[in-house]
Structure 1
Amino acid sequence: MKVTAVETIACDAGWRNYFFLKLSTDAGIAGWSEYDEGFGSPGVTGVIEQLKHRLIGQDVYATEKFFQLASCLTRPAAGGVIGQAIGCLENALLDAKAKALGVPCYELLGGKVRDKVKVYWSHCPTWRINHPKFYQPAVTDLDGVKATAEEARKRGFKGLKTNLFIHDEGDAYAWRAGFAVPFMPELTVDKRLIRNIRSHLEALRDGAGPDMGLLIDFNFNAKPEGLIRILRELADFDLFWAEIDLGSAKALADVRRHSPHPISSCETLIGMRSFLPYFEQQAMDVAIVDAIWNGLSQSMKIAALADAHEVNVAPHNFYGDLCTMMNTHFAAAAPNLHIMEVDVDRLPWESELYSHSPVFEDGYLLVPDRPGWGTEPNEEAIRARPPKVTGGLLQYKRS
């Protein structure tokens, strides 16, 4: 079975765009994958357009061969948007291969070790604060934060992850200094920010109850000394984990040594060599792997490397529902899975874009047994919603 064409399609996703890749074959089977240009990755589509010429005419089954070829061709500028483009193409090959064999994608990753995947509600209530036009009910204050956490508990979720917010200036708004909102490249932390973080977490705990796992994502929003200050001030909270992005494995390891809470990290890394220093430095308790960026086959290698260092993994997953279905196969097959991220708040038209949506049951995501990813993008519905904005980090700003 040979690749005959590769096409990228973007569609409107409210405050951002969704990006899809369709890989056609001479057997009439289409392999699909989803990728992203909104999380600091503009230009992935352009790289795909260049790489696809080395894939067309090649054997669909030779996924590792393509990865190695593409890696050689791009070696001087490995990683980044190039790594993401390679991962996207590899994921589409995996879907096409699984469909041709009539099996779910997890069968090509060694088979599943679990029938359902424990998940946490991510961006809770972040999307309802940042993008109330698309995610209802809107949250503007601490009462709304508490109500969303109560909803998560009632819907059976055992964990929720939130972000940093300011509540003492009227309507709540996100603190995202690491992403230039506000533009503050020094990334310092003051007492006011810490007070707001505490107020936010207190509202979540009040609504969610004592048994809910609370996760907080610091992203790139502070330097190590500021992170240590915050974590010490949060010592009395029972946090599931504190999620941190730092470019230095040694610096992150130092933060971990000072933290009263488990540390997760590495969601922006691509390739085993990027992860290796963090494992060697024992920099985190949980390694977050973006299987959409890395490709699922390569992500299984990263998971194996983590396992060799006695570290569990968690998929990074904040894109569309196709990505959730893709990550489910990685989560089903990786023996050292800790928990999986999911965005429970979805667009009103999300379900129109796919033949099957993710199915949740008492805080778990059920692993599908249909061929490929277990869902098929609705090409007509996707094309009916052309992209409208640049989207993502480049578009977002506090009004």
Structure 2
Amino acid sequence: MRVVDVQVLAADGGYRVCRFVKVTTDEGLVGWSEYYDQLSQVDLTSLILHHGRSLIEHRIDPCSPGLVSSALTATTRLTAGGVQQQAIAALENACLDIQGKAAGLPVSRLFGGPFRTRIPVYWTHCGSLRVWHAAFFERELGMAPVRSLEDLTSLGQQARRLGLRAVKTNPVSFRPDAKGWNGGFRIGPRMFDRRGDDSLIADIEDQLAALRAGLGPDADLMLDVSFSQRTEGAVRLVRSLEGHGLRWLELDIPDPEALAFVRRSSRTPVASLESLYGLNAYRPFLQQRSADVAIVDVLWNGFWQANRIATLADAYDTDVAPHNMVGELGNLISAHFCAAIPNFSIMELRVDEAPWTRDYVTSPTVLDNGELILPSGPGWGSDINEDAVKDHPPRARPR
């Protein structure tokens, strides 16, 4: 079998653009994957098409996704990682869909699973996403605004009504108006400070207390501060939040020893590493015991590579959770990853998505009592509905 065509499709996701890769073979099998470039500041499409031409020209068998990943990675050694790896991962994941369909098996079974068919999930960016994109959620979808601590308590109550037993939020402040805290990777105020003063830490504590009031005492609560803190600020923050019983504080520091120091400074578990690519990048962090939970982005690393990272983490007795911040097909890809590894923690899920994006897949995700039901069909268990994608072209927005 060989690849004869690679295409990319885009559709309106409301506050974002949904992007998909379609890989077609000479035997008529089609593989799909989802990718996102909203954090890379560049359009990955040209890179994906460039690497796709390499698959076609070199007649690489799409049913050998490890070979696909290794061959394309070898061509980018001098510019490894980052957007290169994201483009390669998009093609690798589409080829895995083909391999599963050719074998008549779900992807998780190709990797020795499934270890589980019900995947516990948490509501990611709970409250914070509605602050960041308030106009879309309030005016277009008619959702209740998030402008106060009371609104966060209401969201916690909504999570329980939905059967969700865990939520994660990001720092927001309501003084004087609702606004997000700079994550340390976007141009804006406090981008380079990367430390929290007393008022900011107090705002975070109020935010967590408000969510906890809605969630109740038995639900899991997490906080993600990304790259917003240097080591000193992270230590100060993690110690300040000990009384909130967090399942984890999620933060990113590019030095494994510094991150390990933060982890040892508090009883609050630390989750991290979502921005890393490949075994070599993860190894020093795992060797230093830098995080209680290693976060792996399956859409950025590629499923085959992500599975290898999870195996390495398992050798260090470390749990793994996927970084999953996109749509329906991305959810299914991450769910198969969660099902294929023994050292799984919990899966990230965007509850706040434009409702029409469910139409982009032939079999949308199914949730039951806070768990995602793993599809049993071959490949990812779902295809892209190309008619629905064409019916919702991306809306024009400045980059």
For normalisation by structure 2, the TM-score amounts to: 0.95
- Say whether 1:185 aligns with 2:192: yes
| Inter-partner Cα distance in structure 2 for 1:366 and 1:39 | 29
Look up the match of 1:385. Answer: 392
SS of the equivalent of 1:236 reads: helix
In percent, how many aligned pairs have the same letter?
A: 39
Look up the match of 2:181. Answer: 175
| Inter-partner Cα distance in structure 2 for 1:122 and 1:177 | 15
- Say whether 1:266 aligns with 2:268: no
Deviation at 1:180, TM superposition (A): 2.8
Deviation at 1:175, TM superposition (A): 0.7
Distance 1:389 1:283, change over 3 A: farther
| Inter-partner Cα distance in structure 1 for 2:65 and 2:239 | 46
Q: Judge conservation of contact 1:80–1:270 (CA < 8 Å) in 2.
A: yes
Structure 2 stretches of 5 or more lacking a match?
138-142
**What one-letter code is carried by the residue in structure 2 that aligns with 1:211?**
D
Alignment of 1:1-399 (within 5 A): 1-40=1-40, 42-56=42-56, 57-135=59-137, 136-170=143-177, 172-178=178-184, 179-389=186-396, 395=399
Deviations 1:176-226 (A, max 9, x none): 151234253122321110111011001001111101111000101111111
For structure 1, which segment, 1-10 or 304-313, has the greater mean C-alpha deviation from structure 2 after superposition? Answer: 1-10
Distance 1:252 1:389, change over 3 A: farther
Q: Number of matched residues?
A: 391
| Inter-partner Cα distance in structure 1 for 2:179 and 2:205 | 15
| Inter-partner Cα distance in structure 2 for 1:141 and 1:354 | 35
Q: Judge conservation of contact 1:43–1:81 (CA < 8 Å) in 2.
A: no
**What one-letter code is carried by the residue in structure 1 that aligns with 2:4?**
T
Deviation at 1:71, TM superposition (A): 1.4
Distance 1:96 1:119, change over 3 A: same
Deviation at 1:346, TM superposition (A): 1.7
Deviation at 1:12, TM superposition (A): 1.8
Runs of at least 4 residues of structure 1 off by over 6 A? none
**What one-letter code is carried by the residue in structure 2 that aligns with 1:340?**
M
Q: Judge conservation of contact 1:123–1:343 (CA < 8 Å) in 2.
A: yes
**What one-letter code is carried by the residue in structure 2 that aligns with 1:110?**
G
Distance 1:61 1:307, change over 3 A: same
**What one-letter code is carried by the residue in structure 2 that aligns with 1:202?**
A
**What one-letter code is carried by the residue in structure 1 that aligns with 2:162?**
R
Deviation at 1:107, TM superposition (A): 1.5
For structure 1, which segment, 61-70 or 140-149, has the greater mean C-alpha deviation from structure 2 after superposition? Answer: 61-70
SS of the equivalent of 1:144 reads: helix
Q: Judge conservation of contact 2:227–2:252 (CA < 8 Å) in 1.
A: yes
Deviations 1:271-309 (A, max 9, x none): 010100100111000000101111111111000000000
Q: Judge conservation of contact 2:118–2:373 (CA < 8 Å) in 1.
A: yes
SS of the equivalent of 1:230 reads: helix
Q: Judge conservation of contact 1:134–1:348 (CA < 8 Å) in 2.
A: no
SS of the equivalent of 2:242 reads: coil
| Inter-partner Cα distance in structure 1 for 2:239 and 2:12 | 41
For normalisation by structure 1, the TM-score amounts to: 0.95
Deviation at 1:385, TM superposition (A): 2.1
Q: Judge conservation of contact 1:6–1:21 (CA < 8 Å) in 2.
A: yes
| Inter-partner Cα distance in structure 1 for 2:355 and 2:119 | 25
Deviations 1:39-76 (A, max 9, x none): 23524222112111110133221222222211111111
For structure 1, which segment, 40-49 or 234-243, has the greater mean C-alpha deviation from structure 2 after superposition? Answer: 40-49
Q: Judge conservation of contact 2:113–2:341 (CA < 8 Å) in 1.
A: no
Deviation at 1:134, TM superposition (A): 3.6
| Inter-partner Cα distance in structure 1 for 2:30 and 2:194 | 45
| Inter-partner Cα distance in structure 2 for 1:104 and 1:235 | 41
| Inter-partner Cα distance in structure 2 for 1:348 and 1:252 | 38
Q: Judge conservation of contact 1:175–1:181 (CA < 8 Å) in 2.
A: no
**What one-letter code is carried by the residue in structure 2 that aligns with 1:367?**
L
Q: Judge conservation of contact 1:17–1:389 (CA < 8 Å) in 2.
A: no
| Inter-partner Cα distance in structure 2 for 1:309 and 1:42 | 35
Q: Judge conservation of contact 1:216–1:242 (CA < 8 Å) in 2.
A: yes
| Inter-partner Cα distance in structure 1 for 2:341 and 2:202 | 38
**What one-letter code is carried by the residue in structure 1 that aligns with 2:239?**
R
Deviation at 1:326, TM superposition (A): 0.7
| Inter-partner Cα distance in structure 1 for 2:130 and 2:60 | 45
